[in-house]
Amino acid sequence: MRRILVCAGTGCVASHSRQVTARLKAALHAHHLEDKFQVDNTGCHGFCEQGPLVIIEPEEILYCRVQEEDVEAIVTEHLEQGRPVERLLYQDPVTKEKIATYNQINFYRQQSRHVLKNCGHINPENIDAYLAVEGYQGLQKALALPREEVINIIKQAGLRGRGGAGFPTGLKWEYTFKAPGDRKYVVCNADEGDPGAFMDRSVLEGDPHAVLEGMLIAAYAIGAQEGYIYVRAEYPLAVQRLRIALAQARERGFCGEHILGTDFSCDLHIREGAGAFVCGEETALLASIQGERGMPRPRPPFPARQGLWGQPTNINNVETYANVPLILRRGAGWYASLGTAKSKGTKIFALTGKVKNTGLVEVPMGITLREIIFNIGGGILEDRGFKAVQIGGPSGGCLPAEHLDLPVDYDSLTAAGAMMGSGGLVVMDDSTCMVEVARFFLNFTQAESCGKCTPCREGIQQMLAILTRITRGQGREGDLEQLEQLARVIKGTALCGLGQTAPNPVLSTLRYFRAEYEAHIRDHRCPAKSCRDLLAYHIDPEKCNGCTRCRRRCPAGAISGEAKKPHTINLELCARCGTCLDLCRPKAIYVE
């Protein structure tokens, strides 16, 4: 039986992949092909920009942007006559060539998909699909070993936490294992709140059993009998798939009492978050599971000694747990052979922003930013100039073009003023104002600060006020020095990771794009032509053909002029919304 895989990740579902599945099933029925082809929904393939994605196996043909009305052609031309439908194939943005199989597409070819291997290739709602790809074999191996040996394997593999800071996972497990206490817990941090990151969501949606298996191995290693998965409520599909996976794992004896006939028992629960970014911080997350306000507390004591209800608790994030079954199955030596000296394995990045191929990419640690953005990502949208890449969400930083050849690993990113963080990679082109980007992140952290400690609550507010003034053209001499001073104090004194890293976007943009700040302050000019209050829209009378489109659509009524004669913009009325600029066909409108 050949397989037709339709992506049912959030991205493809948003582009109507469910309707494509339904139509495919109906068409197979109508053409009497039901015994030859099986239609399966999968999790995210990672190539979200091109969705809905349909893969025909075993020939590995990938169809992009498939709509309901394309189904008939796929069935009659491809499935019946064996001719792939050319117009639905992926077109390389550089060579303009049509590429039939996904393994030939640069986006996939240059990745090393290990953690994401099953995502997009198995049905996440069917445990048998996971078992067929060696699922739960890592758990079986672990259960046959002494607990210390499992911890040793993780240590030898060199796995570091994928949640951001990169703490050695084996060491964390060892601390929890050695901590005194009869009741211990494992917790999975699936509160992926970083704007611009969605790898945890995709893993949960596409391969939920891998996360459960990783958690169960951790639970065995540290001696925990209970565990919690704390998921963002904004990810309803992930929550639903996790619930299904958990029920199936319990049914088959991988979770619950006497797992696989051994003395080891562990049950897992799902807790939905209630919408607070700070709950990604481990101590705040624990407070939230306990039913309290999600506020962090000072560490030590670390959760490894005193976590949930005061008991030793191991917390890792989704991607970290998803790496664990692989290590058990394929061995520490295999794992340690991937990556760099101090950062082992692969890392999943959410590649988004002004880049041609957006989506999820899994690459070995140590790959350069240039390879990710230009080879896998296909370069900058509309072939504009590359300006910066924002790494690690609100805790990270913006790196300029001179860092494109930086190898991506925990330590080199930190040295350059960014951090691995969540693994969000947001590419920015020359139309992005870096002062505005810094303001955007501060606005986010300011809104999400829990307010418990003064540096974070008051300090970020002050930094935001200064940045807002600068983007409005009201910057003053001395602002930059004050920003730097505030940043130093907040980094040094805030209670938790949210506050300690909040100034990073400001510091990194000040470090690499200081001239842009100075242009705003001294010349009241936004070099990227992005800050509204510093812009003026004009019409070039030479180019304007008087088509009246802009006049009719201007929401502020700021444009005047007669048909077929050059129009003008009244700057006092102009709301600087950019509508006219988008509408103008002869490109007569320009911004200063």
Partner 1 sequence: MPAETIKQIVARYREEKGALIPVLQATQEALGYLPPEALKEIAAAMALPLSTVYSVVTFYAQFHLQPRGRHVIHVCQGTACHIRGGNHILNKIKELLQIDAGETTPDLRFTLEPVACLGACALAPVMSISGDTYGHLKPDMIAGILEKYQ
In the complex, what is the shortest distance from the CB of residue 414 to partner 1, in angstroms, rounded to a whole number? 20
6 binds partner 1 (CB under 8 A): no
Candidates 277, 410, 512, 517; binder of partner 1 (CB under 8 A) is 277
Under the criterion CB under 8 A, does residue 120 sit at the interface with partner 1? no
Extended strands (E) in 392-547:
397-400, 424-429, 537-539
Round to the nearest angstrom and report the end-to-end CA distance of the chain: 62
Least distance to partner 1 from the beta carbon of 233, Å? Answer: 6
Nearest to 91 by CA among 356, 314, 341, 382: 356
Residue type for 300, please? Answer: P
Edge-to-edge, what's the strand order for the sheet holding 359-364?
359-364, 346-353, 424-429, 386-391, 397-400
Cα(520)–Cα(516) distance, integer angstroms:
7
- Shortest reach from residue 443's CB to partner 1, in Å: 9
The tokens 């206490």 sit on which residue?
Answer: 181
From the CB of 238, what's the least distance to partner 1, in Å? 9
**Residue type at 149?**
E
The 558-587 site mask, x for binding partner 1 (CB under 8 A), equals -------------------xxx--------
Q: Residues 42-61: x/- map of binding to partner 1 (CB under 8 A)?
A: ------xx-x----------
Interface residue with partner 1, options 21, 123, 248, 288 (CB under 8 A): 288
Binding residues for partner 1 restricted to 396-425, rule: CB under 8 A: 424
Segment 230-259, which members bind partner 1 (CB under 8 A)? 233-236
For 246, what's the count of Cα atoms within 13 Å in the CB-facing half-sphere? Answer: 18
Residue with structure tokens 């004591």? 301
Q: Residues touching partner 1: how many (CB under 8 A)?
A: 58
Nearer to partner 1, 15 or 320 (CB): 15
Q: How many CA atoms lie within 13 A of 192 on its CB side?
A: 27
Binding to partner 1 (CB under 8 A): which residues in 527-556? 555
In the DSSP assignment, the letter for residue 401 is: G
Verify binding: residue 293, partner 1, rule CB under 8 A: yes
Other CB atoms within 10 Å distance of the CB of residue 129:
18
Q: Of the two residues 159 and 450, which places its CB atom closer to partner 1 in the complex?
A: 450
Whole-angstrom distance, CA of residue 261 vs CA of residue 139 = 12
Determine the angle formed by the axes of helices 199-206 and 236-251, rounding to 10 degrees: 40
Please say whether the dihedral angle defined by the alpha carbons of residues 327, 332, 333 and 337, taken in this order, is positive or negative.
Answer: positive
390 binds partner 1 (CB under 8 A): yes
Here's the x/- map for partner 1, 186-205, by CB under 8 A: it reads as ------xxxxxxx--x----
Site string for partner 1, 319-358 (x = CB under 8 A): -------------------------------x-xxx---x
Alpha-carbon distance of 317 to 191, in angstroms, equals 8
Residues that bind partner 1 (CB under 8 A): 10-11, 13-15, 48-49, 51, 192-198, 201, 233-236, 269, 271-277, 288-295, 309, 350, 352-354, 358-359, 390, 393, 424, 426, 428, 432, 440-441, 444, 448, 450, 555, 577-579
